[in-house]
Chain A
């Protein structure tokens, strides 16, 4: 059937520059280009273009520009181009629209409405180039009180993990991302001294040497889990929800279940890997408590157990239940959190901005006097080091980055991850495409990113006249809001600029 959709992007080729080398044809995994030998010309099917920019970056003569298509429907504030296209696509297929990456709607971004403080005159700022700055972060339950016995300070024996910087790589499974990306994340976490998260796609044996930098996930699909899996890792995470698709599970389509993935997940090749929406053994906080403690038993109480939920309306009450159920770390994933595949309608409409959810959860746990029982990890929509600094001042202990890490590996957020054809070799299992990420170069890019952000966080600490990230944690006096209503300032627990 001929589609009634307008192409989204235009391919503009400068014929004077093009040397017909056919690089664009080989690089494009969405079949935009072909070579017309008779006329010695490159031809395009621009309706296939997703604007991933692989071709324009690799074209040796800079002959290609990919831009928004000029074709337009009559402009209409209600019937936007996107809503018309989506509707037509569904009329043509009858299916649920899938998409990748996080919500791209212009929801208010609260990070951009928060400003930081700096020291002037009355307390000196600190120069991070000559003073030590501490970013070390410890995740896990903290003591209610300290005891001194016989002159010794006794610290209760709660399990924890130590991070050299409060930035971790969030859960992305081998299956959702390519092996080379997965390996890059593991190696980079090891090199920097932070954590990467296996997601729920199992954990290949040869990467277990990075165990001290690995968080393993137990999600509703329970793929690839065994006692070694838990005990080889530094921390165990129970995944209840994900910001991009709160309340639903996931399907790794059968065509992505290759031989190695089948072995890692321990399911037959070509079979759909279905993670049901709920864990069918968790229908209440008491059930969650049962699983938390099952995992603690399985690891002899030596590993902290975290629980991840998406940011939803009553997240503070749920978080309180999670902490009381024994979670040592709770992770809240906001509406802008990424995904390899999610129904578009859920990605764009379900959940809360992480800034509000994070502040509300931290406030609630403090009010209940149980904030020290668990560390708090903020996830979903972190774009730069100031987002991290603000998150920590709103109450987070550390953050997870996902989309940002993939961008370091080449991703351009074209949102086509669900097709399995990622031209940057990231969210694909195609051996030809996945070679595009070199794990050594990928590792270096990730290490660079964390180094740069850590240096910037030290700069911001110095500005504030603080020499340890610990003193920023939940220190909302460092923040002022701008362009926010009273209720928003109230939820964030910060004052307005100038107040």
Chain B
């Protein structure tokens, strides 16, 4: 009888630098078309990564239907140059841990978009589900429509890295809880020609950093005890202006941008203290 040869596959993945040396097979300038119909997310994401390793930088993905984690595995490649257009409805955790790429979604998104995102951009031409931008630490998210519950929880900032979310429509409860940094701007349906809606409750509970700007009025019973309320100062209007401009450019509202910035009232929410729980303990 032949002896049994035991080959245990050891995991020695080629370094990304080595992989990059492989022949460039895809043009970086071209929009590469991918059909995602019936493709499992693991295969879809691996395919995007494999193509990016061989030079592709622009991806147009059609028939996306619930595939998760798009953009999550794109690192070690010239990630700032990567652009992804998504047609359809991507699954949860779109752009989780994203760091560099720009994603445009022509449709709605599910939950946890931009989860713990570190850099890059996500533009959503529809509405977003719950937990958008959880623990986001950098980059920008623009949502044309509404967002769900628990949005912007525990966003943070460090030095020049200030994550920003701009929401065209309304937000639900538990918005900006534990926020430690970053900015969220809520336009509250301005471009749908709606008067400002009364937004959610439990806004900014445990907030200890960062700022939220909301178009319209916010009542004291809607916000957490740690939240202060005022109107934006002049230099803050410059920030609002900058991001509203980018929002308008993304969704084609440029002609009406001036009107929003001139006439509308915004409330600024901020953390009263960077140490909200300092007095809770006996030492």
Is the Cβ of A302 less than 8 Å from the Cβ of B280? Answer: no
Contacts of A298 in B (CB 8 A): 69, 72-73, 75, 96-97
Is the Cβ of B276 less than 8 Å from the Cβ of A272? Answer: yes
Q: A151 near B: Cβ within 8 Å?
A: yes
Q: Bound complex: CA of A290 vs CA of B178, how far in Å?
A: 22
Is the Cβ of B277 less than 8 Å from the Cβ of A153? Answer: no
Interface pick from B6-14, B55-63, B185-193: B6-14
Q: A151-B4, A300-B49 are in contact. Are A294 and B96 (CB under 8 A)?
A: yes
Chain B contacts with A in 144-199, Cβ cutoff 8 A: 150, 153-154, 156-158, 161, 174, 177-178, 180-181
Is the Cβ of A280 less than 8 Å from the Cβ of B153? Answer: yes
Contacts of B3 in A (CB 8 A): 151
Contacts of B116 in A (CB 8 A): 222, 225
Is the Cβ of A266 less than 8 Å from the Cβ of B156? Answer: yes
Is the Cβ of A89 less than 8 Å from the Cβ of B115? Answer: no
Q: A119 near B: Cβ within 8 Å?
A: no
Which of chain B's residues has its CB closest to A155's CB? B8
Is the Cβ of A151 less than 8 Å from the Cβ of B97? Answer: no
Is the Cβ of B131 less than 8 Å from the Cβ of A270? Answer: no
Number of interface residues of A (CB under 8 A): 52
Is the Cβ of B206 less than 8 Å from the Cβ of A276? Answer: yes
Chain B contacts with A in 120-161, Cβ cutoff 8 A: 131, 134-135, 137, 150, 153-154, 156-158, 161
Is the Cβ of A225 less than 8 Å from the Cβ of B97? Answer: yes
Is the Cβ of A267 less than 8 Å from the Cβ of B278? Answer: no
Q: B275 near A: Cβ within 8 Å?
A: yes
Is the Cβ of B281 less than 8 Å from the Cβ of A96? Answer: yes
Is the Cβ of A293 less than 8 Å from the Cβ of B156? Answer: no
Q: A274-B206, A294-B69 are in contact. Are A280 and B9 (CB under 8 A)?
A: no
Is the Cβ of B278 less than 8 Å from the Cβ of A254? Answer: yes
Is the Cβ of B118 less than 8 Å from the Cβ of A227? Answer: yes
Chain A contacts with B in 264-292, Cβ cutoff 8 A: 266-268, 270-272, 274, 276, 280-281, 290
Task: Render B1-39 as a binary contact track against A, CB cut-off 8 A, 1 for contact.
Answer: 011111111010100000000000000000000000000
Q: A221 near B: Cβ within 8 Å?
A: yes
Task: Render A83-101 as a binary contact track against B, CB cut-off 8 A, 1 for contact.
Answer: 0000001101111111000
Q: Bound complex: CA of A263 vs CA of B158, how far in Å?
A: 8
Q: A96-B280, A227-B118, A290-B68 are in contact. Are A268 and B158 (CB under 8 A)?
A: yes
Number of interface residues of B (CB under 8 A): 60
Q: Bound complex: CA of A491 vs CA of B5, how far in Å?
A: 42
Is the Cβ of B11 less than 8 Å from the Cβ of A302? Answer: yes
Contacts of A223 in B (CB 8 A): 156
Is the Cβ of A274 less than 8 Å from the Cβ of B96? Answer: no
Question: Chain B nearest CB: distance from A150 CB in Å?
Answer: 9
Which of chain A's residues has its CB closest to B131's CB? A281
Contacts of A36 in B (CB 8 A): none
Q: A225-B97, A280-B134, A293-B69 are in contact. Are A272 and B156 (CB under 8 A)?
A: no
Partner of B7, one of A93, A153, A253, A293: A153
Question: Chain B nearest CB: distance from A132 CB in Å?
Answer: 19
Q: A280-B153, A294-B72 are in contact. Are A270 and B93 (CB under 8 A)?
A: no
Question: Chain B nearest CB: distance from A72 CB in Å?
Answer: 23
Q: Bound complex: CA of A130 vs CA of B234, how far in Å?
A: 80
Q: A152 near B: Cβ within 8 Å?
A: yes
Q: A155-B8, A227-B97 are in contact. Are A276 and B178 (CB under 8 A)?
A: yes
Is the Cβ of B282 less than 8 Å from the Cβ of A159? Answer: no
Task: Render B85-106 as a binary contact track against A, CB cut-off 8 A, 1 for contact.
Answer: 0000000110011010000000
Is the Cβ of B281 less than 8 Å from the Cβ of A98? Answer: yes
Is the Cβ of A226 less than 8 Å from the Cβ of B99? Answer: yes
Question: Chain A nearest CB: distance from B70 CB in Å?
Answer: 9
Is the Cβ of B4 less than 8 Å from the Cβ of A271? Answer: no
Q: B209 near A: Cβ within 8 Å?
A: yes
Contacts of A220 in B (CB 8 A): 154
Q: A440 near B: Cβ within 8 Å?
A: no
Question: Chain A nearest CB: distance from B118 CB in Å?
Answer: 5
Contacts of A209 in B (CB 8 A): none
Partner of B282, one of A89, A227, A301: A89
Is the Cβ of A297 less than 8 Å from the Cβ of B283? Answer: no
Q: B45 near A: Cβ within 8 Å?
A: yes
Q: A367 near B: Cβ within 8 Å?
A: no
Contacts of A271 in B (CB 8 A): 180, 208-209, 274-275
Is the Cβ of A221 less than 8 Å from the Cβ of B282? Answer: no
Is the Cβ of B180 less than 8 Å from the Cβ of A97? Answer: no
Q: A368 near B: Cβ within 8 Å?
A: no
Partner of A280, one of B4, B76, B93, B131: B131
Contacts of B135 in A (CB 8 A): 221-222, 225
Partner of A293, one of B2, B68, B97, B99: B68
Contacts of A68 in B (CB 8 A): none
Contacts of B206 in A (CB 8 A): 274, 276
Q: B214 near A: Cβ within 8 Å?
A: no
Q: B64 near A: Cβ within 8 Å?
A: no
Chain A contacts with B in 341-385, Cβ cutoff 8 A: none
Q: B112 near A: Cβ within 8 Å?
A: yes
User: 12 new A-B pairs (CB below 8 Å) besides A272-B208, A280-B131?
Assistant: A226-B97, A228-B75, A254-B274, A268-B157, A268-B274, A280-B177, A281-B131, A281-B134, A294-B115, A297-B41, A300-B49, A418-B283
Q: Which 4 A-B pairs have the closest CB atoms?
A: A95-B282, A222-B135, A227-B75, A93-B282
> Which residue numbers of B lie inside 8 Å of A, CB to CB?
2-9, 11, 13, 41-42, 45-46, 49, 68-69, 72-73, 75-76, 92-93, 96-97, 99, 111-112, 115-116, 118, 131, 134-135, 137, 150, 153-154, 156-158, 161, 174, 177-178, 180-181, 206, 208-209, 274-283
> Which residue numbers of A lie inside 8 Å of B, CB to CB?
89-90, 92-98, 148, 151-155, 157, 159, 220-223, 225-228, 230-231, 251, 253-254, 262-263, 266-268, 270-272, 274, 276, 280-281, 290, 293-294, 297-298, 300-302, 418-419
